[in-house]
Every structure is written in structure tokens, then in C-alpha cells.
Structure 1
Amino acid sequence: MIRKKQAKFLSLKNDKVESYKKLKSDSFIKFIEDNRAKYKVIFPAVINFLRDAKPQDNLDKDDLEDFILLAQADVNSNERINQVLFDELLQHLVNTYSRVDFKHYRGAMLEYFTMQIENNFLYVMYHEPRIYYRKKRLLNSKFYGYNSLVDIVKIKKDKSHLCLSECKANINKQIKELKKGNNQSFKRKLKFMDNIEMKVSRLTIKPYGFVKVEKVLTSVNTPVVNLPSEYKRFKVIGLLEYYRTKNLDYLNKYIS
């Protein structure tokens, strides 16, 4: 009789501990953290900025200001930010837009926002972790993409649920290139997530039976292109729409 493997021996460890610490110490993110009470304005303003502000468009300060004004228009007057916060947020947008590494920074911001939305007291959150079983790597070199890392991984404290979230700034472009056979790095990441699901979903956990594994692709873009059929078990979500439709109110978790 084959002994069933148990989820209690599953463990995760951040592969790049400094990466998340560096992300959290960023001045823009610190500004967002310090002004959580106005998250209903700041979140959409920043997400729409990350989605629509392209370096080649040469946007000026007035153009960037529109991202905040549009976010202000969508909330009640008592939820809007005052002029001081408005000016601070605008300056952060200006500084971010002028960064030479804007595209890379946009990806880091997407990972940060994904962590905020996915955060839940029932779970433990990890940033680019390695996954182990009985202190050995869950996947060895026999598995395609075995050395990959997933951006955000959360696991329920009782280990009944594992969620893998990969962040892509422009998910539609990634999928289009995948369909053309030109995006091997993305294909490798998806296969890696498939292999993690295959291994972890076989682990037993009382009283649930087996561990539930969820695979999510998040983006600042609204997904309009479907993944190929072999990836039908992936959930593809636009971050702003996810925030709104799921009614995941940041304030409920952080402001009493």
C-alpha cells in the first residue's frame, strides 16, 4: 500500500528576503501605507497610472494629474484626498514616470498591490518563495521550469489551500505572444505553476481530503485575450476590477 503524502510536511521560504524588504521601504509605497484611510482614491489612481502611463507618450504633470482627478470623481466627497495629499501623490506619479527603470518598477508595484489584495489573516504570504516538502525542494530538475519562482504565494495556516499568483503588467501581450509560440519564459512559468499544482494537490490534509491549489495571473490590464485551452485552470484577473468586484476593501483589514 502506497503511503499518502501529508500536507503538514509542506513548507515555504522566501528565496529573496531582501526583495520584499526593499519593496516595502520604497518611498512611494511608504506614502501609500501611511495614507491607508484614503486607499479608495489612491489605489485606483495608481493602478490606472501604471496601466495607462506609457513612457513613449511623454506625459506632462497635467496629464498625470488626471489620474488622480478621475479617481476622486468616483468616490464620495468625504473619501477624497485633501490638497496636501493630492500634491504628494502627484509628485510621486511624476517621479515614478521619470524613472529610467519605469517598466521594471511597474512590475514591482503590481506585486505589492497583489499582496495587499490577497492578504488575509487566515493565510501566510510569501514573495517569490521556494516550496519544500520534508525540507527538500518540491520540484527537482526533472520538471520543466523547476527553478522558476512565482511572485506571490499564499498558504492557509492549516495548509488546506495554496494560491499561486503571478503578476504581469500587460497580460494581454503576454498571452498573444504565448499563442504565437514566442514567449518561452512565460510558458515555463505557467508549466512550473502546473507542476506545483500537480504535486501539492495530491497532499492530504484532514479533514478536507486534499490540498486545494489555485493559480492566478494578475495584471494592471483588463484581460481581453483568453489563455490557450491547456491553461484553462488559470484565473486571469485585472487588479482594479478584482478589487472592485470582490469588494475587497483595504480599509476593513487595516482601519478599525
Structure 2
Amino acid sequence: MDLTDFPRVHLVFPAAGIGQRFGQPHPKQYTQLAGKTLLEWTLDAWSDLPFQGERILVLSGNDAQGHALATRYPGLRCVEGGAERAESVLAGLSAINAATDDWVMVHDIARPCVRRADILALLAHCQSAGQGALLARPLTDTIKRKTGEQVSTVDRRQLWAAMTPQCFRHGQLHNALSFGLAEATYLTDEASAMEALGEPVGLVSGSGDNIKVTHPDDLALVAFYLEQQGRLSST
């Protein structure tokens, strides 16, 4: 793919959360894995992509460690986020000097195993379709719904697990997040904000190793995937 075919592509990495489910005294993005933090492993995955847009790392207001690590990445700019993901992403979008039709990709800082091929496939889909999309994975487990004491099986053929990056036009995503926050809409990701406004959202099948670190047990799996990708030495 020739990246010059795309308008400017901006990157936003929300990293203002504290990772409550991770169960550690520090935010999960600063957990060490083979001599690097998860934040560094994730930023490294994007470092050789020659996008011409801005790169924004969204941190909590008193995050000295994040600011220090960001200095290792030329062109990466830090901005202060909010209490919720949507607030942090909106802060990142507001800090970008972008045209309304520029593409913005938002990526979880706790997904260090994202593949370059998947990032480019997502961008290619957005350009071809002319609308935003996200990486996702069709569900393979049998899914149960429990309502009170009643258990039922959900048709998984229609279900996908959302991943990141998620890619949308800057103006549309800024408007969608602003509206969702103003209306107190339940927003779990950028796509949910777009959906709330009735905007079309595409799904692009992503690799299964693009996992999000949520629990400490996930670190061993991340190390395995990084090794399989040739990014982490087994010695």
C-alpha cells in the first residue's frame, strides 16, 4: 500500500486510565515486560509507520512517567485526558490541527501486539468505503446471556469483539464524542459514539494476537505473541 494515497492520518493513544481491573499499584501501561513498559511496546509498534499527521499521547494530569517516556518518540505530543476514555480521546482530537476529513486512528495503549498489516488493511478499507471502521474479531465461543435466573444462548454468528485501532474522520468523531458526552450516552469505544449518531461503522477482521492487556495473566500471552512476531527475543 502506498501511504501517500491517504489524506493525513493522525494517531491518538489514550493512556490516562489507571487500569483498575489490572489489580496492581501502578497503571498497567507501566508494567514492565522484557525491559520495556507496555506503553513503549505499543508505541514501538507504530513508530515505523510513516503517517504524516500528528501523534498524541493522552495522559493523566500528574503522569510524570508518561511524559518522560514520550520524549523517546520524536513527534509524539502529550495532552491531558479526562476521567473516562471518551473524554481523553476527545481531548486528543481537540489538540490536533486537523481538517474535518482527515483520518484519525485511536489505539489502546494496552494493545502492544497490533500488526502493521492490520493497521494498513483498516486504512485501506476506510479509504475504499469512504467511511470509518474498526478492527474486530468474530466471536467463536458460545455466548450465554443471564437474565435473573434465566440463561439463554446468543447467536454468535452476528457478534464481533471490538478491537483497536478504530479509524474515523476527525470532524465526525469529534462531533460524535462531544454529543455522546453531552447526552451522557454509554460510550465504550469510538465506534459506539458514531453508532449513537446513526453513522455507518465498518468492521475489518483483525488478527487474534491483537489482545488488550486487562489482567496480569495476559502478560505471558503478550510475551508469546511478541516473540512470534519477531519483536521479542526468546533468549
**TM-score under structure 2 length normalisation:** 0.33
**Larger Rg over CA atoms:** 1
Q: Is the strand fraction higher in 1 or 2?
A: 2
Structure with the largest fraction of helix: 1
TM-score, structure 1 normalization = 0.31
